[in-house]
Amino acid sequence: MDGSAVSYERNLECLVRAIQELSLARDLDRIAEIVRSAARELVGADGATFVLRDGDRCFYKDEDAISPLWKGLRFPMETCISGWAMLNREPAVIEDIYQDPRIPHDAYRPTFVKSLVMVPIRSMAPVGAIGTYWATPRLANVREVGLLQALADSTSVAMENVQLYNELEQRVIARTQELVAANRLLYDEACERERVEQDIQRFSMTDELTGLHNRLGFLRHAAESLETSRQRDTPCLLLHLQVESNDSGPAENLPLVAARMLRAQFRRDDLIARLGGGEFLVLTTGYGDPHAVLQRLRAGLGAFNRAAEQSLTLRIGHAESSRGQDLEQLLQEADNALHRAGPGWSSD
């Protein structure tokens, strides 16, 4: 195998390597880096440049050369050899730049360039060009131009892949943002539904007038409290109260006044419920002697009447859970005790 054949084989290996690297490129900067180095190596050039079409101008994006060329500059398509290659969709092979009318000589005088080859990137509607330059006069042969054009064709594919990759990435980002927004909306809707359900449940267990538990709310919470007390071996005291007033004021004020009085007499952890009118239930634990509780309640009622200038009376029925009764049995005992109670008590 002669030297030229060995050299051509090496050039093919360089081209294959460049094509493989281009297939993995994910941005334009990486493509430019691969192309500028591969182009110079393929034909043994003293410089190579990667040019992009930017509207009606040529943008010299990157270069690899023995001295600076035009990196970062833009030139009109009609006055630039890279523009000529793109507009005519064919390579420009120039042995002596100063003998070719297509070359803007003033732009080349400050450079080392004497000969060049410029090939378009993509034959149909070129998007750029690859240029190689020599410091001494040299006419590139058909093989060299073919290698550069093959590199340019692979570069076109790589640029399209990058565009597709970027579009796909943007779609993924947009879709991810849509999913995040949808998930946030679903989460907000779920939270709102839960809040509404909690409100509905709370309203269904709350006396609208006084804000105390109603019968349903009392039954639910009292059953839980009774079970907890049973596990801790702590007795509960259930009070069934009938509050009345000797005042001649509006009857609708009685439940509010009675609720205010009961809140003042019992602890925050005690369950207080209004069944209707002036009828209330109270469940308390850790109360001590039940008769002492009743006495304190009566004393508190008297103090409340004097302070609030009210004349509330109170009938009390009570039941203790010390015998292991369930809630229904306690309610029945307290209700029976209320019916056996005498006239309402108002003061001590």
Q: Report the distance separating Cα 48 and Cα 57, nearest Å.
A: 19
Cα dihedral sign, 339-343-344-348? negative
**CA distance to 37, 38, 71, 129, 210, per residue, from 114 (Å):** 20, 20, 18, 19, 99
Fold of 3-169: Beta-Lactamase (3.30.450)
pLDDT at residue 65, as a whole number? 94
pLDDT at residue 1, as a whole number? 43
pLDDT at residue 348, as a whole number? 43
Coil, helix or strand at residue 143: helix
Averaged over successive runs of 10 residues, the pLDDT of the chain (348 residues) comes to 65 91 93 94 95 96 93 94 96 95 92 96 93 96 94 93 88 89 89 84 86 92 88 89 77 82 90 93 85 89 87 91 84 91 59
Bridge partners, residue 18, by sequence: none
CATH of 215-340, one of 3.90.1200.10, 3.40.50.300, 3.30.70.270, 3.40.930.10: 3.30.70.270
**Stated pTM of the model:** 0.56
Q: Where in the chain is the domain with CATH 3.30.450.40?
A: 3-169
pLDDT at residue 309, as a whole number? 84
pLDDT at residue 345, as a whole number? 57
pLDDT at residue 2, as a whole number? 47
**Counting beta carbons within 10 angstroms of the beta carbon of residue 235, is it exposed (0 to 12), middle (13 to 18) or buried (19 or more)?**
middle
Say which residue the tokens 């410091």 belong to. 135
Q: Are 130 and 148 in contact (CB under 8 A)?
A: yes
pLDDT at residue 6, as a whole number? 58
Q: Report the distance separating Cα 17 and Cα 21, nearest Å.
A: 6
